[in-house]
């Protein structure tokens, strides 16, 4: 097949980890006879420096015309004092919104060989950690009306959480469909004991669940869900939740696997084009040192092949290569638990060796 990909390295460790994923994609294209044309584009802090805005028009245009986008990470301390609309993170939010990517899929799976890197007790990890977090991505508090003003108690600021039935329904459909392909359990997470938007969320999910009698459905309040993820993550299969709750719970859940450096994500909309990215940030503290863990980005490329291009065999090959390298004992610093570690280049080479074996 032929696919036009846009690669957005972004900031911090972004260029290093995207470099690794691009190498893996080149090997896959050679091995399986595909043509992936890869075009790089600027977004985030580097785009602010080069073009004055976090999401330049030509980047957005390239993404809109592409078959899928692979992104490293955006952000860094040097841009933290810029006004909200000029911060690197705006690039990500702009891409999600403009590409209509309302569904964010974040699989959280603990690999057996990494059980020691998980902060959970072994009797808990023995029960397994394999959760798919489905996060609503283009609505809620991230995109609601916001502002500042002057009140009787001085200056104030506000953000609003607003969800329509249709926004809730379509993310619910993505989650139910995903549950059908997994262990057929879905937990919808909200704060319906306090928030009106959560009450509409829950009502809408309850209507939708009638269409999925084969999926075992439950509701959970977000504070309890945060606790249950630590107490017994094996109770969860698919979790579906709002933009803000999903942001928080997915970082929490990532730790169960030992490192956020392993977790991939897909952001999808109505069509096949998606945005794939590791769920971690730009890690400015280790940028340029050659020690970043590229696995989350490499696994994001695998997700892209599977979900946007229906290349299951190719995606399986990448996932198996990563697993093999971890089984051989190779670790980057974040998952080495104080033991020996290798750098970004070395682990990428090992993954490529495993792919070619
Ligand atoms: C994520 C990130 C982003 C978010 C930031 C960088 C805007 O934390 O993808 O989880 O909050 O969505
Ligand atoms: Mg986040």
Q: What is the pLDDT along the chain (357 residues), one digit of tens a residue?
A: 999 999 999 999 999 999 999 999 999 999 999 999 999 999 999 999 999 999 999 999 999 999 999 999 999 999 999 998 899 999 999 999 999 999 999 999 998 888 888 999 999 999 999 999 999 999 999 999 999 999 999 999 999 999 999 999 999 999 999 999 999 999 999 999 999 999 999 999 999 999 999 999 999 999 999 999 999 999 999 999 999 999 999 999 999 998 888 999 999 999 999 999 999 999 999 999 999 999 999 999 999 999 999 999 999 999 999 999 999 999 999 888 778 899 999 999 999 999 999
Active site residue 251: yes
- Predicted TM-score (pTM) of this structure: 0.95
Point out the ligand nearest to the CA of residue 74.
1
Q: 207 CA distance to ligand 1 centroid (A)? A: 30
Continuous segment of H or E residues that includes residue 27: helix 14-32
Largest CA distance in the chain: 69
| C-alpha–C-alpha distance, residues 202 and 317, integer Å | 39
What's domain 1-102+266-357's architecture? Answer: 3-Layer(aba) Sandwich (3.40)
Point out the ligand nearest to the CA of residue 252.
2
| C-alpha–C-alpha distance, residues 138 and 95, integer Å | 10
Substitution site in 71, 92, 265 for ligand 1 pocket (most atoms within 8 Å of beta carbon): 92
Sheet holding 103-109, edge to edge: 35-40, 2-10, 68-73, 274-278, 264-268, 103-109, 130-136, 238-241, 185-190, 216-221
Residue 239: exposure state from Cβ atoms within 10 A (0-12, 13-18, ≥19) = buried
Within 140-221, where are the H helices?
Answer: 165-180, 196-209
Q: Which of 185, 219, 251, 345 is catalytic?
A: 251
Report CA 239 to chain centroid distance, whole Å. 14
Task: Please state, in angstroms and as integers, the Cα–Cα distance from residue 53 to each residue in 6, 10, 30, 58, following that order.
Answer: 18, 13, 36, 11
Domain with CATH 3.40.718.10 in the chain: 1-102+266-357, 119-257
Q: Which of 159, 223, 232, 310 is catalytic?
A: 223
CATH top-level class of 119-257? alpha beta
Tell which residue, 292, 332, 331, 302, has the closest CA to residue 21.
302
- Non-local (6+) Cβ contacts of 198 within 8 A are 190, 191, 192, 242
Active site residue 247: yes
Rounded (5°) CA angle 220-171-237: 50
Ligand 1 surroundings by CB, under 6 angstroms:
75, 89, 92, 247, 279
Q: 291 CA distance to ligand 1 centroid (A)? A: 22
Active site residue 223: yes
Active site residue 31: no
Q: 247 CA distance to ligand 1 centroid (A)? A: 6
Q: Which of 247, 276, 330, 350 is catalytic?
A: 247
């Amino acid at each position: 097949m032929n696919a036009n990909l846009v690669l957005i390295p972004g900031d911090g460790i972004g260029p290093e980890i995207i470099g690794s994923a691009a190498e893996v994609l080149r090997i896959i294209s050679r091995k399986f006879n595909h043509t992936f044309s890869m075009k790089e584009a600027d977004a985030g802090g580097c785009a602010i420096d080069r073009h004055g805005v976090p999401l330049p028009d030509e980047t957005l245009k390239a993404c809109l015309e592409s078959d899928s986008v692979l992104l490293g990470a955006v952000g860094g301390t040097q841009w933290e004092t810029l006004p909200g609309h000029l911060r690197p993170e705006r690039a990500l939010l702009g891409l999600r919104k403009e590409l209509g990517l309302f569904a964010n899929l974040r699989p959280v799976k603990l690999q057996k060989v990494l059980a020691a890197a998980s902060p959970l007790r072994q009797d808990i990890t023995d029960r397994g950690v394999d959760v798919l977090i489905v996060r609503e991505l283009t609505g809620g508090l991230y995109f609601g009306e916001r502002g500042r003003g002057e009140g009787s108690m001085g200056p104030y600021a506000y953000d609003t959480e607003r969800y329509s039935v249709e926004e809730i329904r379509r993310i619910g459909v993505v989650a139910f469909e995903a549950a059908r392909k997994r262990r057929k359990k879905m937990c919808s997470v909200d704060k319906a004991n306090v928030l009106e938007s959560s009450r509409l969320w829950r009502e809408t999910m309850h209507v939708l669940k009638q269409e999925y009698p084969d999926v075992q459905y439950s509701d959970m309040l977000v504070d309890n869900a945060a606790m249950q993820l630590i107490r017994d993550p094996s109770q969860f299969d698919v979790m579906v939740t709002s933009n803000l709750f999903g942001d928080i719970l997915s970082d929490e859940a990532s730790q169960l696997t030992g490192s956020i450096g392993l977790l991939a994500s897909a952001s999808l909309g109505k069509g096949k084009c998606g945005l794939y990215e590791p769920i971690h940030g730009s890690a400015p503290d280790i940028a340029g040192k050659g020690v970043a863990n590229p696995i989350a980005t490499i696994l994001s490329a695998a997700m892209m092949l599977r979900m946007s291009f229906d290349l299951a065999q190719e995606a399986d090959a990448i996932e198996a290569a990563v697993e093999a390298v971890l089984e051989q004992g190779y670790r980057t610093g974040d998952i080495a638990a104080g033991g020996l570690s290798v750098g970004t280049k070395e682990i990428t080479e090992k993954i490529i060796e495993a792919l070619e074996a």
